[in-house]
Each structure stands twice: as C-alpha cells, then as structure tokens.
C-alpha cells in the first residue's frame, strides 16, 4: 500500500469521524433529555442498584443483587455503572449512564457503517429511525445490560462484515476488533455475545453457499479469541461461586430460560412479531415495502444489505425459537 493511498484512507476516515461525532452527540443529548421518564420498575431498581453497591463494596468478580442472590449474567454492566456512579454520584442518571452512552454509540456505529458502505443519506435516516423507536429509546435508558449488549453486538457484526468484505491489509484489524467486541458482549450478557454473531455468519455463508468459509483460520481465530475473553471471567467466577454459580448462571439463567423450563416466561413462536411492529412504529410500516423491494432486487442487492438481512433473521429467529421469552 503506497503512502498516497494510506494518506487518502486516513483523510477519508477523518471526514467520517467528523460526521459520526455529531450523530453520537445528538443521540446522547436526546436520550439524556428523555432519561428521567424512562421506566424504572421497583424490581429493576432493587436488583440493579444492589449489584452496583456490591461492586462498589469490592465484590467485582461475582457481585450479588442482595444477600445470597448472585447476579444472573456477567458483570460488565455493573462495572460500568459503578464507575458512572463514582463520577456522577448515586443518582438515576449515574445508574442509567452506561445504557444511555451505549445507545448513542450504537446509533453512531450504524451511521458510520451505512455511510461508509451505502450512502450518507441512508445512514442518517437509519440513525434517526433507530433513535426514535420506542423499544430502542426505552432500552437505552434502562439501568440494565441490554443496551450495552446491543452496542457490542452491533460493533462486532459491523467489524465482521468489514472483515469479510475488506481488503487483506484491513481484515486483521477488523477481525481483532470483532473478537474484542464479542468478548465484551459475552462479559455483558453471557454467550449471546458470541452465539448471535456466529449465527449471523453461518446464515450468511449458507445463503451464499460458501459454508466451507466458516473454517477459515481468521474467522475461527476471531471467534476463539472472543470465547477466550468470556471464558476468563467464567473461570474466575467459578473460583468464587463454585458449583452454585454454574447451576444459577448456566442451568437456570441460560438453559431453563431458553427452553422455557419451569415456566420461564412461556410465549408462542410468533410472540415477538407484533411487538416488533408496534415497538418500531412508524418505521415498521415500511417493512412490507422493504421485503418486496429486497425480493424483486434479490439478484442485485448490495452485499451489505444481504448481511443486514442475515443479521436480522438470525437474531430475530434465535429469540423467537426460545421457549422462554
């Protein structure tokens, strides 16, 4: 790669950053203005605040919601909330800040990806549509880990797409970033941080009829590194919590909730569909036209659009197939 080309890439990246920054700041300001009206149920306040207090008390590896009730997911959100509370004080804003920032970063990531691959106009509309959806805005103001998981998954999937589409000299950097982000997603809400991107890639290669590419060294190394980041915490937590930790987090928190065993929020397969349509109004009204357009142009769709469709289908299908919703 010549110095002229390198300079051009740096300049292009600088221009994109200057465009992304206002998107991040505008999203951050919007969510901060709305934050006091976000739902803050009694259960959330007691559970999440209790875990933050336990981290501040020094139990960082395996904090508890209350005495004898250990957390049911990895603790990255509570680590972030503890730092936030240190800075902002013990206030609702302090506990909500990690989710608010994660929501704004997610909008910025979406804008940057679409602006770099499709068009700036499409990127702007995508960011506006995302931040104005009730589901997203609510999750971005909740004092819990869901929006942080969304941020890491979005960043990881964008980096994976760039790894697959990028030129050889850029793939290693994007692959490393994807591994770190999937690892952080695992530290936020467990194996979903690796499973959901993995399902997306499997579906993408299945659509392209290139399943053999799943076994490329770079892709396997990326997922192995992400798995290793998450496994480091699980090993440390096991040293602290022993077999009780494994039963609570893996058997109860993961397996029973996914299968719907023991009455864990059972709902039919189609449960999320009406909630998707209502929670993303008015933008969900465009979904029939979008599906029709993608079908009619299926042979000439940009690779990024195909990737986005696989991203949606993999994650929506995974949660719809869960017995406990």
Residues near 137 by beta carbon (within 8 Å), at least 6 away in sequence: 31, 34, 103, 131
pLDDT of residue 178: 96
Count of structural domains, the chain: 1
Residue 38 lies in a domain: yes
What pLDDT, on a 0 to 100 scale, did the predictor assign at position 46? 56
Residue 195 located in a structural domain: yes
Exposed / middle / buried, residue 268 (Cβ in 10 Å: 0-12, 13-18, 19+) = exposed
Query: Rounded to two decimals, what is the model's pTM?
Result: 0.89
**Contacts of residue 302, Cβ cutoff 8 Å, sequence gap at least 6:** 117, 118
Give residue 174's domain range.
3-245
Would you say residue 10 lies in a domain?
yes
Q: What is the pLDDT of residue 7?
A: 45
| C-alpha Rg value of the chain to the nearest Å | 20
- Which helix (H) or strand (E) segment is 257 a member of? helix 257-259
- 264 lies in a domain? no
Question: Are 197 and 239 a contacting pair, CB within 8 Å?
Answer: no
Q: Taking the alpha carbons of 43, 44, 49, 52 in that order, is the dihedral positive or negative? A: positive
| Assigned domain for 290 exists | no
The pLDDT, as a whole number, for residue 5 is 47
Residues in the chain: 325
Q: What is the pLDDT along the chain (325 residues), one digit of tens a residue?
A: 443 444 445 455 567 778 899 999 999 999 988 765 555 555 455 567 888 888 988 889 999 887 777 888 899 999 999 999 999 888 778 888 999 999 999 999 999 999 999 899 999 999 999 999 888 988 898 888 899 999 999 999 999 999 998 666 578 889 999 999 999 999 999 999 999 999 999 999 999 888 898 899 999 999 999 999 999 999 999 999 888 888 888 777 777 777 766 566 677 788 888 888 888 888 999 989 999 998 898 888 889 999 999 999 999 999 988 877 7
Half-sphere exposure of 33 (CA within 13 A, CB side): 7
Note whether residue 260 is domain-resident: no
């Amino acid at each position: 790669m010549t110095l002229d080309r390198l300079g051009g890439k740096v300049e292009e990246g600088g221009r994109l950053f200057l465009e992304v920054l206002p998107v991040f700041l505008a999203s951050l300001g919007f969510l901060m203005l709305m934050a006091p009206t976000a739902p803050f149920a009694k259960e959330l306040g007691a559970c999440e605040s209790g875990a933050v207090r336990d981290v501040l008390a020094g139990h960082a590896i395996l904090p508890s919601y209350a005495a004898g009730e250990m957390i049911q997911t990895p603790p990255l959100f509570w680590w972030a909330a503890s730092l936030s509370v240190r800075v902002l004080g013990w206030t609702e804003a302090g506990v909500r800040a990690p989710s608010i920032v994660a929501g704004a970063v997610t909008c910025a990531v979406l804008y940057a990806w679409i602006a770099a691959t499709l068009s700036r106009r499409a990127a702007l509309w995508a960011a506006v549509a995302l931040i104005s959806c009730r589901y997203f805005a609510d999750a971005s103001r909740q004092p819990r880990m869901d929006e942080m998981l969304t941020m890491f998954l979005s960043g990881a999937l964008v980096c994976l797409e760039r790894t697959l589409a990028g030129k050889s000299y850029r793939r290693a950097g994007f692959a490393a970033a994807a591994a770190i982000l999937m690892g952080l997603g695992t530290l936020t809400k467990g194996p979903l941080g690796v499973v959901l991107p993995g399902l997306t890639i499997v579906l993408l290669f299945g659509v392209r009829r290139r399943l053999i590419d799943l076994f490329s060294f770079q892709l396997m190394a990326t997922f192995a590194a992400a798995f290793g980041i998450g496994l480091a915490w699980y090993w440390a937590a096991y040293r602290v919590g022993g077999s009780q930790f494994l039963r609570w987090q893996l058997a109860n928190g993961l397996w029973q909730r996914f299968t719907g065993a023991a009455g864990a929020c059972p709902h039919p397969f189609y449960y999320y569909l009406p909630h998707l349509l209502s929670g993303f109004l008015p933008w969900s009204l465009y979904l029939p036209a979008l599906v029709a357009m993608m079908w009619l142009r299926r042979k000439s769709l940009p690779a990024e659009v195909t990737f986005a469709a696989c991203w949606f289908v993999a994650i929506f299908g995974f949660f719809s197939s869960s017995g406990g919703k």
